[in-house]
Amino acid sequence: MSSINFATREISCKVVYYGPGLSGKTTNLQVIHQKMPQDKRTDMVSLATEGDRTLFFDFLPLNLGDIKGFKTRFQLYTVPGQVYYNSTRKLVLRGVDGIVFVADSQRSRQAENIESLQNLRQNLQDYGMDLDDMPFVLQYNKRDMENVFTLDEMNAELNPRKVPFYPATAHNGKGVVTTLKTIAMLVIEKFNVKQGQLNKAVENANNTGVHDVSLTKEGISVSQQPKLSGNAAAPTSPFKMPSFAAKPPAAGAAPSAGSGSGLFQRGAAAASPFGRPRAAATVPRMPTFGRVVDKPSQEVSDDDIELRPYVPKKK
C-alpha cells in the first residue's frame, strides 16, 4: 500500500528485496546508496546479526521519476534470509508495491532459492496479494562465482512467468542499477495505467491530507489516514516506554513531602503561620554567590550520540 500526499503531490512507493540468506540483498542497497547523488538519498539503516547481514530491514528512500505530475519517493527494504526470521520477512512485505527477488546463482544454493521464492508467495497470499499481479523482477546474483547455473537453467527453475531478469555481480555494482530502474519503471507504469482512477481520487480528496493508496485489479483504492484531534489519544505502539511523569495524588490523600506542601507549595496559596494568607509561592531556584540564576538547558544533538554495534555476550 502506497502513501500519497495530495497537498505536496508526492507518492511513496515501497520496494522489497527478497531472497535467501547471503544472496546479495543488502549489498544491492549499499551499492545503490553509494551511486545515488546526495540530494537523492537519505541515510541507510542496517541492522546486522552474526548469521546474516540484515536482521530487520534496510530503509533507503529515493526520488525516481514522476507519476503524471506526482513526485515519487521509493523506499527500499530488504528482509532477513534465514527461515527462522519468517515473521520479520512477512512484516516487511506489508504494503509492498514491487519486489526484487535476489537469487544466488551457485548450484549449491538451488534449494534455498526455490524455498525462498515459495515462502515469498505464501507470505503475500497471507496479505491477500498475488505475486503474479504485481511488479516483480528477478536478479541472478554472484555470476562471478564458480560452478554457477546458466541463465536458461535459472529461468527454468525460478522464472516460469518470463518476468524481467538480470545477471548481476552486486559487490562490484554490475546489474544493480539496471535492476532498480526496471522495478521502479514497473511500479510507475502500474500507477500510470490507473491514471483515470488516480485523477478521480485527487478530486475527491480536495488536495488535502495524506492518504493510503492500494492498487487492485479493479483500480485504485484511496483511504484517508485518520487525523488526531485535540482530545484524541495518540496511536498505540507495541513498544511502550515507561512513564516517569509524577502522578497527581489520589482524592483525600495527604500530601507527601515531595508533593510541594508547606511554604513551597505549588499552584495554590500556601497556609501561613502568621494568620495572613500568603501568595502562591514557587519552588525557589538555587542561589549562586548571592544571585539567583537560571540553570541553562542542555540540548543533546545527534553528534553527541554514539551508536555502537551490538556485540553478543560470550557464554
| pLDDT beyond 80 at 270 | no
In this structure, what C-alpha cell is assigned to residue 172?
A: 562490484
pLDDT at position 189 is 86
Condensed to tens digits (0 to 9), the pLDDT of residues 153-170 reads 999 999 999 999 999 999
* Residue with more model confidence, 41 or 230: 41
| pLDDT beyond 80 at 309 | no
- Work out the mean pLDDT of the chain and round it to a whole number: 74
Question: Residues 219-226: contacts with CB within 8 Å, 24+ apart?
Answer: 219/194, 220/194, 222/4, 225/3
DSSP assignment of 161-194: T---EEE-BGGGTBTHHHHHHHHHHHHHHHHHHT
pLDDT at position 288 is 40
* Residue with more model confidence, 28 or 217: 28
What average pLDDT does range 251-257 have in this prediction?
A: 51
Q: Phi/psi at 296 (nearest 5 deg)? A: -65, 140
Condensed to tens digits (0 to 9), the pLDDT of residues 122-132 reads 999 999 999 99
Task: Give the pLDDT band of residue 81 (cuts 50, 70, 90).
Answer: confident
In this structure, what C-alpha cell is assigned to residue 214?
A: 492500494
What average pLDDT does range 279-293 have in this prediction?
A: 45
Q: Phi/psi at 221 (nearest 5 deg)? A: -105, 125
